[in-house]
């Protein structure tokens, strides 16, 4: 058995987490919207046709924002097709996913759904076939108080008050040659600036995200990011990052994905700092990691020209959930730079929540790491000093134990998330002296058969277990971490007299 030590100092901090780190994404893709969140006639649908069984699980995740409506879909989408009486809405070809879009669901329906799900909207404007003018008109439709063509139309279509959508993506993955009307970095940068100007003239309270690289595997990375940052430095607030991982045959390499993701963020942090210096600027460019997950892209299937086909419906294993845990922890460990992050996606399409059309709903394995990061990951991220064993993976030297610590002075709790990617159990010594004495509240663990998956017949094949806590009050403790496992270790500071 190997040993590790984590020494935590309560004043040695990375940053406060931004609530928007706990966000997700819904695209008009496959069954994400239709028979995902929206299914009129389903036994659990409410008067608006929203599935209440899905809303219940989404609320459990306590999302800050949901990004909408895409994704690749965005670059061919005319938002005006999705407003007004449903019987008048056009059926269109969606060239991004080679499907048929009925437009029965649009921005008004999504606004109503967001209110019920407790999340805010992260909007997005089309930078493929779309123009800066149409982007401004969408902001006017959503956010302008009234007395103009588009804002009065919103009132007529059921929303008298402005929707107040404060956060907007200027396009999606415009570096990708698969994108409808893909642009090079200079053309995109210039178009993004002109779009940003119009959007802010309509509503100067909004925040904007420009497209960074779709992945560090792109040939144009990281030059794309540098050029886009140089064009947009004065006009946007965030640069987007996207990254998906899949198991290419070596479980250990797959588990080490967090090493690569960490490097990706570090590289672009350096790029953002360079651009800030170049511009003689004062503000930092922050990141919106608005697509992240495990996605088996090599196995991707196609169903041409169907309406809401069952595509990209990855069924996740425990192993996938461990990788998602490592990715989510990486985002928290970069809370000083990453302010927004969207697990991509939310329902059916590469998602933690999975539905049967007309039937049941299921929590996939990846639901759990995201749930616990969302539930206990909000607070001050600490920068522990860790002595952990290492091994070589495809990404170079890789720690076998990865950790994230979050301190919440307001309720006196400390949560340590640990991912043991070793093939054997590990003994972890936690040094917590700067907190005085603590009591352990909970020890949750996700481990077992790496290939286990939740199914409708066996919905709890992957389920976190509560393990015995270390008894008493202490300022250091030892915990055993099972092989290939994710842990949530929760502590509460004891009051001065040493009692809980």
**Which listed range, 48-56, 67-75, 145-153, 300-308, lies at the site for ligand AHR (CB under 6 A)?**
67-75
Minimum separation from the CB atom of position 212 to ligand AHR (A): 12
> What residue is closest to ligand AHR based on CB?
71
Per-residue x/- track, 200-239, ligand AHR (CB under 6 A): --------------x-------------------------
**Which listed range, 66-74, 155-163, 255-263, 365-373, lies at the site for ligand AHR (CB under 6 A)?**
66-74
Minimum separation from the CB atom of position 293 to ligand AHR (A): 8
Strands 99-101 and 92-94, bridge-based pairing: antiparallel
Closer residue to ligand AHR in complex, CB, 27/422:
27
Minimum separation from the CB atom of position 27 to ligand AHR (A): 5
**From CA 128, how far away is CA 142, in angstroms rounded?**
21
> Per the residue annotation, which of 39, 248, 291, 424 is the catalytic one?
291
Closer residue to ligand AHR in complex, CB, 271/348:
348
> Interface with ligand AHR includes 344 (CB under 6 A)?
yes
Strands 120-125 and 167-170, bridge-based pairing: parallel
Per-residue x/- track, 134-173, ligand AHR (CB under 6 A): --------------------------------------xx
**Tokens matching residue 381:** 């991220």
> Per the residue annotation, which of 39, 109, 137, 173 is the catalytic one?
173
Which residue of 17, 72, 143, 355 would you call a contact of ligand AHR, by CB under 6 A?
72
Minimum separation from the CB atom of position 101 to ligand AHR (A): 14
> Interface with ligand AHR includes 175 (CB under 6 A)?
no
Query: For ligand AHR, how many residues bind (rule: CB under 6 A)?
Result: 10
Q: Is 427 a catalytic residue?
A: no
**Which listed range, 64-72, 229-237, 333-341, 400-408, lies at the site for ligand AHR (CB under 6 A)?**
64-72
Q: Is 173 a catalytic residue?
A: yes
First to last CA, the chain: 33
**From CA 480, how far away is CA 80, in angstroms rounded?**
56
**Which listed range, 70-78, 317-325, 393-401, 491-499, lies at the site for ligand AHR (CB under 6 A)?**
70-78
Closer residue to ligand AHR in complex, CB, 297/451:
297
> Interface with ligand AHR includes 291 (CB under 6 A)?
yes
Closer residue to ligand AHR in complex, CB, 27/237:
27
Which residue of 36, 49, 70, 352 would you call a contact of ligand AHR, by CB under 6 A?
70
Which residue of 75, 345, 374, 484 would you call a contact of ligand AHR, by CB under 6 A?
345
Q: Is the peptide bond before 345 cis (omega within 30 degrees of 0)?
A: yes
Closer residue to ligand AHR in complex, CB, 366/381:
366
Minimum separation from the CB atom of position 71 to ligand AHR (A): 3
Site residues for ligand AHR, window 388-447 (CB under 6 A)? none
Minimum separation from the CB atom of position 73 to ligand AHR (A): 6
Bridge partners (DSSP) listed for residue 442: 490
Which residue of 27, 175, 203, 447 would you call a contact of ligand AHR, by CB under 6 A?
27
- CB-based contacts of 309, cutoff 8 Å, min separation 6: 30, 31, 99, 303
Closer residue to ligand AHR in complex, CB, 22/141:
22
**Tokens matching residue 474:** 């202490």
Q: Is the peptide bond before 20 cis (omega within 30 degrees of 0)?
A: no
**Tokens matching residue 56:** 């219940």
Give the residues lining the site for ligand AHR (CB under 6 A): 27, 70-72, 172-173, 214, 291, 344-345
Active site residues: 173, 291
């Amino acid at each position: 058995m190997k040993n590790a030590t984590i020494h935590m100092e309560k004043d040695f901090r990375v940053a406060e987490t931004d609530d928007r780190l706990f966000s997700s994404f819904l695209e008009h893709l496959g069954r994400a919207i239709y028979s995902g969140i929206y299914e009129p006639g389903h036994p659990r649908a409410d008067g608006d046709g929203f599935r209440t069984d899905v809303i219940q699980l989404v609320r459990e995740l306590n999302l800050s924002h949901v990004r909408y409506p895409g994704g690749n879909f965005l670059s061919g989408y005319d938002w005006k097709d999705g407003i007004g009486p449903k019987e008048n809405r056009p059926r269109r070809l969606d060239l991004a996913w080679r499907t048929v879009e009925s437009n029965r669901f649009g921005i008004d329906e999504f606004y109503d759904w967001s209110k019920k799900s407790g999340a805010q909207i992260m909007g997005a404007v089309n930078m493929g076939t779309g123009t800066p003018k149409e982007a401004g008109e969408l902001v006017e439709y959503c956010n302008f108080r009234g007395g103009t063509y588009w804002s009065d139309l919103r009132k007529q279509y059921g929303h008298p008050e402005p929707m107040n959508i404060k956060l907007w993506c200027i396009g999606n993955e415009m570096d990708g040659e698969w994108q409808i009307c893909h642009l090079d970095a200079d053309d995109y940068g210039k178009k993004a600036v002109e779009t940003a100007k119009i959007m802010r003239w309509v509503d100067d309270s909004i925040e904007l995200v420009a497209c960074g690289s779709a992945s560090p595997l792109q040939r144009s990375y990281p030059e794309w990011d540098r050029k886009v940052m140089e064009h947009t430095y004065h006009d946007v607030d965030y640069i987007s990052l996207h990254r998906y991982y899949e198991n290419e045959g070596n479980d250990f390499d797959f588990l080490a994905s967090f090493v690569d993701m960490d490097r990706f963020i570090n590289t672009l942090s350096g790029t953002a700092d360079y651009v800030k210096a170049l511009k003689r600027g004062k503000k930092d460019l922050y990141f919106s990691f608005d697509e992240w997950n495990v996605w088996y892209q090599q196995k991707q299937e196609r169903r041409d020209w169907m309406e809401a086909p069952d595509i990209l419906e990855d069924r996740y294993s425990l192993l996938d959930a461990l990788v998602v845990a490592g990715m989510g922890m990486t985002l928290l460990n970069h809370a000083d730079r990453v302010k927004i992050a969207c697990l991509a996606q939310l329902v059916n399409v590469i998602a933690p929540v999975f539905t049967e059309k007309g039937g049941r709903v299921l929590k996939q394995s990846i639901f759990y790491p995201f749930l616990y990061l969302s539930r206990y990951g909000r607070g001050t991220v600490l920068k522990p000093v860790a002595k952990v064993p290492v091994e070589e993976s495809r990404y170079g030297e890789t720690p076998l134990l990865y950790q994230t610590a979050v301190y919440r002075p307001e309720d006196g709790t400390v949560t340590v998330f640990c991912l043991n990617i070793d093939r054997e159990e590990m003994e972890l010594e936690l040094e917590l002296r700067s907190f005085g004495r603590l009591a352990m509240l909970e020890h949750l663990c996700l481990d077992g058969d790496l290939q286990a998956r939740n199914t409708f017949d066996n919905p709890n094949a992957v389920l976190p277990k509560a393990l015995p806590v270390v008894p008493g009050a202490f300022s250091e403790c030892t915990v055993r971490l099972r092989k290939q496992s994710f842990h949530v270790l929760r502590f509460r500071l004891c009051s001065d007299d040493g009692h809980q």
